[in-house]
């Protein structure tokens, strides 16, 4: 239960004081961008180094458990309102690794033989120049009884409408997920250079919010 407490605290703190440092603790998820160092929690990465989908080590994880991953941007601001929003960057279920290889730990990868139809493909961090957003990775155990919650069917497209306002607590509840088993985060940096368009990416607006009705019995099998 300890991880859940931290995560819930994390999200309360996020809404109250956006600039606070994450109190993330517990097992560290070993994740990195290809050809780069493993991410030490809280490091700063240039956004241009985060274009390629990250890879995860099975270090500290257990076979033959199946895992699912979320990557969230906690610091999206709705222009002119100052309202803070969470954007889902990646949802990948059915992560497994080869139980026979232990040394060195091998990589987690989606099980291609037996996987769910619902994946929200990776979107690289794309906060505006000069901003400093927190990107969080949360890894959960995927029980054999896991079903994708029907009320989140809208998340696969790589659009702001699909990904903004993502409510991880509602997802955890609707999917009966336990607390995350491994976590990590980094700060994404984009330097402002002369001639930059200050906001080259589509902005989140209040109409990006979606109201969810999650009934725990309405899962997709």
CB of 208 to ligand NAG, least distance (A): 28
The residue count for binding ligand NAG (CB under 6 A) is 6
Which of 138, 157, 150 minimizes the C-alpha distance to 212? 150
- Minimum distance of ligand NAG from residue 48's CB (angstroms): 6
Burial 85-106 (b: 16+ CB within 10 A, else e): bbbbbbbbbbbbbeeeeeeeee
Residue 137, SS3 per DSSP: strand
Q: Examine residue 176 and tell whether it contacts ligand NAG (CB under 6 A).
A: no
Q: Which residues contact 140 (CB under 8 A, 6 or more apart)?
A: 67, 68, 69, 70, 172, 177, 178, 179, 180, 181
Q: State yes or no: residue 112 binds ligand NAG (CB under 6 A).
A: no
- Cα 149 from Cα 119, distance rounded (Å): 12
Please tell me whether residue 100 binds ligand NAG under the rule CB under 6 A. Answer: no
Q: How far is the CB of 93 from ligand NAG (least distance, A)?
A: 8
Toward ligand NAG, which CB reaches closer, 67 or 171?
67
String marking each residue 124-163 x if it binds ligand NAG according to CB under 6 A: --------------------x-------------------
Nearer to ligand NAG, 48 or 153 (CB): 48
Does residue number 66 form part of the binding site for ligand NAG (CB under 6 A)? yes
Report the alpha-carbon distance of residue 64 to residue 40 in Å, rounded.
26
The pair of three-digit structure tokens given for residue 60, joined into one six-digit string: 């500290």
Q: Checking DSSP bridges between strand 107-110 and strand 55-57, what pairing results, if any?
A: antiparallel
Binding status of residue 191 toward ligand NAG by CB under 6 A? yes
The contact set with ligand NAG (CB under 6 A) reads 46, 48, 66, 114, 144, 191
């Amino acid at each position: 239960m300890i991880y859940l407490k931290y995560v819930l605290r994390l999200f309360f703190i996020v809404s109250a004081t956006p600039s606070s440092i994450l109190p993330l603790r517990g097992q560290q998820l070993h994740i990195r961008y290809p050809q780069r160092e493993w991410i030490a929690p809280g490091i700063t990465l240039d956004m241009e180094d985060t274009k390629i989908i990250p890879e995860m080590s099975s270090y500290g994880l257990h076979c033959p458990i199946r895992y699912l991953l979320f990557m969230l941007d906690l610091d999206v601001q709705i222009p002119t309102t100052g309202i803070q929003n969470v954007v889902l960057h990646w949802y990948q279920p059915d992560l497994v690794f080869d139980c026979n290889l232990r040394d060195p730990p091998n990589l987690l990868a989606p099980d291609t033989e037996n996987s769910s139809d619902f994946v929200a493909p990776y979107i690289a961090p794309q906060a505006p120049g000069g901003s400093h957003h927190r990107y969080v990775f949360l890894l959960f155990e995927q029980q054999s009884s896991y079903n994708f919650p029907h009320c989140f069917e809208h998340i696969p497209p790589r659009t702001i409408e699909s990904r903004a306002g993502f409510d991880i607590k509602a997802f955890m509840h609707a999917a009966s997920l336990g607390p995350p088993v491994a976590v990590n985060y980094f700060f994404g940096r984009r330097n402002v250079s002369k001639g930059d368009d200050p906001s080259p990416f589509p902005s989140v607006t209040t109409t990006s919010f979606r109201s969810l009705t999650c009934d725990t019995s309405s899962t997709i099998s």
